[in-house]
Chains A and B, each alone.
Chain A
Amino acid sequence: MRKQRLVLIGNGMAGVRTLEEILRHDPQRYDITIIGDEPCGNYNRIQLSPVLAGEQTLSDIILNSEDWYDANGIRLIKGVAATGIDRVQRTISLATGEAIAYDKLIIATGSRPFMLPIPGAQLDGVLGFRDIKDTTAMIDAAAKYQHAVVIGGGLLGLEAAHGLKQRGMNVSVVHLGEWLLNRQLDEQAGRMLEQAMRDHGLALYLGQTARRLVGEQRVSGVELGDGTVLPADLVIMAAGIVPNDGLARAAGLKVQQGIVVDDTLKSSDPFIYAVGECVNHRGISYGLVAPLFEMGKVLANQLAGCGKQRYTGTTTSTKLKVTGIDLFSAGDFMGGDDYDQIVVSDPKGGVYKKLVLKDDVLVGACLYGDTGEGAWYYQLLREGRNVADMRRDLLSGPREVGDAGTAGANRAAALPMDAEVCGCNGVSKGTIVKAITEHGLFTVEDVKKHTRAGASCGSCTGLVEQILMSTVGSSFQAAPRQKPMCDCTTHTHAEVREAIRNQHLTSMDQVMRKLQWRSADGCPTCRPALNYYLISTWPGEARDDPQSRLVNERMHANIQKDSTFSVIPRMWGGVTSPAELRRIADVAEKYEVRMVKVTGGQRLDLLGVKGSDLPAIWKDLDMPSGMGYSKGLRTVKTCVGKQFCRFGTQDSTGMGIELEKALDRMWAPHKVKLAVSGCPRNCAEAGIKDVGIIAVDSGWELYIGGNGGIKTEVAEFLIKVKTATEVMEYSGAFLQLYREEAHYLERTVHFMQRVGLDYIKERVLQDEAGRKALWARLQQALALEPDPWRARDGVAADQFAALPA
């Protein structure tokens, strides 16, 4: 039997989403054709705003590449408009002359910008803001011209204005309303937004109309109602949208400012459905994706033959995608006489919250500045729940509301499972948590892929991130931050590391030249980092630059508050001998050391040493450097273990010494501490070390990512192994991974949090060859490292001594 032919007109967000849902239900059911007049696969129209602002690129926002259409057997007729529908023959005529037959048709032609019918509207340089074509035209204009006027201070207008401003234009916004976003915000919040936009450099003309556009061929100005003429080389009309219902109208379908559909999204013709902005459902045309996607879901349910769902309308909420501005509104936020209002207003602090209640039910919310509770209010609003018993605490959010929250937990943790997190795609917290636990997700990107949460307008990404964090704890991987290393560069740590590796850069000069450093020779932030990246990536090849090391590493001793130094000789595994002790004591006396102290890492520290005495002290000590000053291996702390302790199950001291010898002189992104305990009593405190090893009867347990620093972090269990050789291999491989991939000054715990414990397990546990290679690379690198105290002649010994005048 021939499959039914399903044709979609409009390769946009609502239509394609509907098809995706159908394919999910029943991929075999239809022969699908899409007719789209845009030249590419479908894309995330919402993200055109960040593209305009230069925060994303066009390729970032493609939703389905052409492979997707192929893979799903969809015929995509792109760059071609549908010009007519013959409802008797059931065919669609195309601009190319071809006719396409359908059994079922979905119209999803969206809408187009409403172009004000004022004189001059046809001039060059007058655009709407709707598609890729408009966006590139705006970007091109911003490169050539100076003055832009945006007509309309709604969401779209403000995003356009923000984007053009980001691209360096002088931007004015002409807005009919008395305040910005007057359909989404009340006056007070609108005024706060107004201030923020003025601070951002936009000129605002509120309560004004655009009467006429001036210009010959290209627009040159906008005349306002009061006669003012604003200079303009580019005019964006963002005064509203008009449903694209011309095709339907011409085909005789029932149309009334949008194609009229019933609750199953069926038009007045039983073979034709419509979804998206071109639709009029119960008198409403929606202009946001959340309701459109909801429609898509229902329609897919119908077309896949399930036919149970109904669409009954959506309460929408509002967010603005302008970086640095948080606002949220939903429902009936204006309030009025029959309503109660709870308001907090702190214009100076930039926070405003208004909740509107009617008969103890939340009916509207308008938040500015702090929108963290938005999702929760939205939920209450849609549930229509009686909130009488939580009125007093309503403003402070779910944390304060009795049993709904746990003290100290963050907002995400306090959110109930059925709370909607992603408004665009209607994804609840429960769905996200389930996906995270079932599929073992660790990144926001993964959550996006599996649940679509955050995949559209992106304003819930923060909340998704929090849910991830509260669900997977410390294995959470933050979205890659775009923060540059320091003011000298636009590149992130990760990018710099990658460039050094991929382009085989071996000197600081090269890095700075290739990556176009803004300063001649860097700064105290980037130079130590670059130096580390170079020598850890190309050991033996890149030359260490002492002048790019901070004083402790340059002087191989710890600087103290009075600029004297402290010296820590290495005592392997914390073990020393009477002869060594005698030597240390002699040195301490000879150089009049002010204090001899046992450190937290079981070593002896000689404090109060003059800088000029350092080379002589090292010589007299004749012990290896304890590297107690380095971003590198510090100590391997041990307990006495089986040798003496009545509980010890293994030789923890021996294991510690062996490890310390193997890892000696290891530079790292940050300091690294290890500990080995002889039994689970854990006297060496291995649970808070970068690598902690605890002996048990049958072998050794390895823990990683502990930290006893500013915030104590308990190490995570990595694996249990049998032999000492395995302890070395696994610990070494983990440390080498950290050395190769962590950012400078990132402790192991933060590295682990960034990449996720699973990633580390994958590299160190699952991939045996990879593990061995990591361990081998570490050993090779260490073989080349001299002991800095013994190599002191190389470090310009004369620097330590003062010059006579």
Chain B
Amino acid sequence: MKSFHKICALQDIPQQGARVVNTSAQAQAIALFRTADDQVFALDDHCPHKGGALSHGLVFGGAVACPLHNFKVDLATGSALAPEQGQVPCHAVEVRDGEVWLAV
């Protein structure tokens, strides 16, 4: 059963940046992204192309560009932006009173 856990304060994630969460619940680390307008998204930290760490990518609009070969992934859905194809698992995440809660 997944449940929401408090992870950090919104301020701990840089705007247009990301932080990685290590969880024992799954083998793959999860990346928390914060957009310029303070939305927070959570995706597996694993690019569908060759497994690059998306958390090191450049966040723009509602997407992130993988640092290895510039594969672009939509943060809200986890799907690659055309023309690329691929899907990154997404996780439920919420910001409550300036705190980030992640479902793991």
Give A residues with C-beta under 8 Å from B: 519-524, 527-528, 546-551, 554-555, 559, 561-563, 611, 796, 798-799, 802-805
Contacts and interface: CB of A to CB of B under 8 A. Distances in A.
Contact of A521 (B5, B14, B21, B60): B60
Contacts of A803: 7-8, 12, 19-22, 32
B12 A563 contact: no
Given A563-B52, A799-B14, A799-B17, A521 B22 contact: no
Nearest to A488: B60
Interface in B1-48: 5, 7-8, 12, 14-17, 19-25, 29-30, 32, 36-37
Contacts of A524: 57-58, 60, 65, 70, 72
Contact of A561 (B8, B50, B58): B50
B70 to A, nearest CB: 6
Nearest to B16: A547
A547 B56 contact: no
Given A524-B60, A550-B58, 11 more contacts: A521-B36, A523-B61, A524-B57, A527-B60, A528-B58, A546-B14, A559-B53, A563-B51, A563-B67, A802-B29, A803-B21
A521 B61 CA distance: 6
A805 B56 contact: no
10 contacts: A521-B16, A523-B65, A524-B72, A546-B17, A549-B58, A551-B67, A554-B56, A559-B68, A802-B29, A805-B102
Contacts of B59: 547
Would you list the 4 A-B pairs with minimal beta carbon distance, nearest first? Answer: A805-B23, A551-B67, A547-B16, A563-B53
A170 to B, nearest CB: 29
B104 interface: yes
A524 B7 CA distance: 28
Interface of B: 5, 7-8, 12, 14-17, 19-25, 29-30, 32, 36-37, 50-53, 56-61, 65, 67-68, 70, 72, 102, 104
A802 to B, nearest CB: 4
Contacts of A528: 58
Contacts of A804: 21-22
A548 B5 CA distance: 30
A520 B102 contact: no
Nearest to A552: B67
Contacts of A798: 12
Given A524-B65, A547-B16, A798-B12, A805 B60 contact: no
Nearest to B45: A563
Contacts of A802: 19-22, 29
A664 to B, nearest CB: 25
B100 to A, nearest CB: 9
Contact of A547 (B17, B37, B50, B52): B17
A796 B12 CA distance: 9
A549 B57 CA distance: 9
Nearest to A549: B58
Nearest to A563: B53
Residue of B5, B32, B60, B68 with most partner-chain A CB within 10 A: B60
